[in-house]
Structure 1
Amino acid sequence: MIDYKDRGWEIPLHSINEFKSKSKDYCVCVPVINEGEKIKKQILRMSPFSEWVDIIILDGGSTDGSLNPDFLMKNGIRALLTKQDKGKLSAQLRMGFGFALQQGYKGIITVDGNGKDGVEAIPEFVRSMEQGFDFVQGSRYIPGGTEINTPLSRKLAIKIMHAPFLSLLSRHHYTDTTNGFRGHSSRFLLDHRLQPFRSIFDSYELLAYITVKAPRLGYKVKEIPVSRIYPEGKIPTKISPWKGNLLLIKILWRTMLGVYDPINHKDSGNNGLSS
């Protein structure tokens, strides 16, 4: 078992509520905060896939009562991790990745907890990683993928800016780089050249960084079709389109400049696999 403290990983303080033991080779981590009925409905849709994966909830500090332990346990959730520290999405992912790697999972799937994603794609993520792919990006923009009611500003940001830019930096063609429905092999996350367990990854930085690094480090990468459905009418959001797009631009710029790269790629230290 991996001890992340010995490896020097920077992981937010958090509590762990385990409802059952590890039973699968793969897990799906669901970052969420105050999604109310949306996360409850998503958990109900995900429950049938507990025969494929262990399901782990990464709570950013919800206060709406949506993650009642009795409800989670009843619906097959393996564990609830609750962040008790600063940080947003990337901090939640560091928390989840650290727990999953410590538990010995072969691969980790991530999917947002806002109810927009077609969780029926979970088995295909597992199959892809079983076939040797180390980074599997879900895409609504390839044959078989589906998008419904995507806000125009987000669609343009993805197609005109985000996906082309990260494709250029990574030297691999991507079509849906803001999509958080992804699969990651443990060997990729443990590569000392990646080092994802650093506090510089706080908001959305880790998504862009991993997207670029996977092909650049020589790992097998593919996209698979997924669906992403936004509700009709005004889109509920925790961040304004202007503020969100400015943040994405800042992260893209810093990714291009290598700001998120480890300081010393030759130092395997405590952050990766031993040679």
Structure 2
Amino acid sequence: MRTLVVVPTYCEAETVEAIIERVLAAGPLLHVLIVDDNSPDGTGELAKSVAAKESRLFVLERPGKAGLGAAYIAGFEWALQRDYEVIVEMDADGSHQPEELPLLLTAVEAGAGLAVGTRWMPGGRVLNWPRRSKLISRAGTLYARLLLGSKLRDITSGFRAFRATTLYEVLRREISSHGYSFQIEMAWNVERSGAFIVEVPITFIERAHGNSKMSSRIVIEAIGRVTHWGITRRRTRVQANSLTADSR
């Protein structure tokens, strides 16, 4: 299936070339879109120099840093406008392994609307990650599952493959998140749409170069949004049950 791998970048000059090379090596039908938010370290210019020699690489330049969610949505819309059948999201820092892309693509080709690369399932691994990061990720996933009624074991994963038809339907909803919670909102919307979701085990490796974009502000935003969605969900269910009871 014609596939585009969307890779947002901001100050990833140390890793972007290697990631591009590894993604393109993972399959002859894979194309890559670098979505760069005007990185001051020259990431965008570096990607463009590679794209000048590689027909399967494209670069989408944005005027400034506007958040992970906005970068992904820009990339998703770019892909849908060009009729890609599968759209993949992955990080540029080397934490996601391009060699595992076939695992996601096989799941989509077998019928999944969304394939999620999952760390927290049998076969999944996390290497070289600080204990604090593991705790935040596991706790965030558990909190989201409880409040949103999600069945996903890694709802915060950023390594995913969407069938184009599923992604199109999800983007018809308003996506309000920009940071860490963007991944949660997207996955939850797919779950609510009733699309078939498959989780596959992946190996997540802590970045060796550059700095993490994660911050306490991003984590707090995610907690706030998940709490709001969870409360709204509960109120909606209570109201629905009340209306059902009144009609009897």
Q: Same fold (TM over 0.5)?
A: yes
RMSD: 2.5
1:93 and 2:67 matched:
no
2:116 partner SS:
strand
Pick aligned residue for 2:162 from 177, 181, 184: 184
Match of 2:61 in 1: 82
Counterpart amino acid of residue 221 in structure 2: L
Pick aligned residue for 1:207 from 158, 162, 183: 183
- For residues 132-147 of structure 1, what are the structure 2 equivalents within 5 Å? 132-147=111-126
Tell me, yes or no, if the aligned pair for 1:137 and 1:224 is still in contact at 8 Å.
yes
Deviation of the 1:50 alpha carbon: 4.5
2:20 partner SS:
helix
2:15 partner SS:
helix
- Unaligned stretches of 5+ in structure 1? 1-23, 260-275
Match of 1:61 in 2: 38
Deviation of the 1:196 alpha carbon: 4.8
Match of 1:237 in 2: 212
Counterpart amino acid of residue 178 in structure 2: D
**For 2:186 and 2:142, how far apart are their aligned partners in 1?**
15
**For 2:11 and 2:173, how far apart are their aligned partners in 1?**
25
**For 1:208 and 1:64, how far apart are their aligned partners in 2?**
29
Tell me, yes or no, if the aligned pair for 1:29 and 1:110 is still in contact at 8 Å.
yes
**For 2:53 and 2:30, how far apart are their aligned partners in 1?**
16
| 1:34-82: CA deviation from partner (whole Å, max 9, x where unpaired) | 1121122212222212413211111122121233222234355431011
Tell me, yes or no, if the aligned pair for 1:94 and 1:196 is still in contact at 8 Å.
no
1:124 and 2:95 matched:
no
| 1:106-136: CA deviation from partner (whole Å, max 9, x where unpaired) | 2211001111111111112111111111111
**For 2:226 and 2:112, how far apart are their aligned partners in 1?**
25
Match of 2:238 in 1: none
- Closer, same or farther: CA 173–29 of 1 in aligned 2, 3 Å: same
**For 2:210 and 2:36, how far apart are their aligned partners in 1?**
22
**For 2:212 and 2:182, how far apart are their aligned partners in 1?**
20
1:56 partner SS:
strand
Tell me, yes or no, if the aligned pair for 1:138 and 1:223 is still in contact at 8 Å.
yes
Counterpart amino acid of residue 56 in structure 1: L
Larger radius of gyration: 2
Identity %: 25
**For 1:236 and 1:206, how far apart are their aligned partners in 2?**
20
| 1:83-111: CA deviation from partner (whole Å, max 9, x where unpaired) | 12562100001100101011111221100
Counterpart amino acid of residue 183 in structure 1: A
Pick aligned residue for 2:193 from 211, 217, 221: 217
TM-score (norm 1): 0.75
1:154 and 2:133 matched:
yes
**For 1:63 and 1:221, how far apart are their aligned partners in 2?**
37
Deviation of the 1:150 alpha carbon: 1.5
2:26 partner SS:
helix
Deviation of the 1:169 alpha carbon: 4.5
Counterpart amino acid of residue 175 in structure 1: R
**For 1:235 and 1:31, how far apart are their aligned partners in 2?**
14
Tell me, yes or no, if the aligned pair for 1:196 and 1:206 is still in contact at 8 Å.
no
Number of matched pairs: 231
Tell me, yes or no, if the aligned pair for 1:27 and 1:105 is still in contact at 8 Å.
yes
